[in-house]
Copies of this chain bind each other. A is one copy, B any other.
């Protein structure tokens, strides 16, 4: 971060780029750095429900599935969709355990305040995920009052998916409480990247056919309805739009970002299959996260030419004074180490013991 041409502040972080086969293709910082997945876990948290037939049971739409894996802005089309999800299981906003925060979309938050309305749990960026967890309880005949507890059978099913997609055994995954009160998983950055490669890849080891179909449907819904996954003006939504739905992207709190790149986009890389990108800003800041994501894609050759220009504009956040004048900027200053796909550094055995 610069001001008047001088460096004012510095964000550090780590990046891991991993093939669906587990090869570490590129890295910066410490790719084995353990991170809480935060909202980058959402596609995996939704998988057990869809794998069990939840989509058909509740006639879920593409938009509803996308919202179920979203960190949304609390915009009217998000809250309406969350309410619709809830109603399909006979639930209301009062059944959500996520708590209420002001909508992430500032215009929506201001409009709410202007009308002297308080935010409700539907505005919580995780309300879609929580609504889907409630529907899952209905579907599995689990207790919907305690769905957020780590020992709840739905959370056990989710942990199983997280473990198998990240390649980390269940009993080696520390569990914390997320901002929205459900369990959140702590795995090395490498394993988050692996999980996102697998999201875009072929059937993963120990993945059931139903799980495979479910997460393909989740990826399809998220990439087809990117406005549901984040919202108006949000980098994640705009990034997925820029790639015309070919690429999956998901942010998490505390500086986490993950991208799933299908093989057709990754052909320039020395790799068979899909790849996953995961990054963590060490200090948890959001302000450099999008620019770092674009820079990683540039260094991998995934963003070039006019598309690179578009992405840089999306990620651009100049430093402004209160009057709005630009008084500084930000600049990515890292170089990925690029490894040959067949190199010894990759592979599933490459995890912190």
Contact = CB atoms under 8 A, between A and B. Distances in A.
Interface of A: 1, 3-12, 34-36, 97-101, 110, 113-114, 116, 124, 174-181, 184, 186, 254-255, 282-285, 321-325, 327-328
- How many of these chains are in the complex? 2
A163 to B, nearest CB: 16
A98 B181 CA distance: 40
A181 to B, nearest CB: 5
12 contacts: A1-B284, A6-B186, A8-B284, A10-B283, A99-B322, A100-B322, A176-B327, A176-B328, A177-B328, A179-B321, A179-B327, A180-B321
Given A10-B283, A36-B6, A177 B99 contact: no
A283 B11 contact: yes
A321 B130 CA distance: 15
Contact of A174 (B5, B97, B284): B5
A284 B113 contact: no
Contacts of A323: 97-99, 181
Given A181-B323, A181-B325, A325-B181, A4 B283 contact: no
A123 to B, nearest CB: 10
Nearest to A255: B9
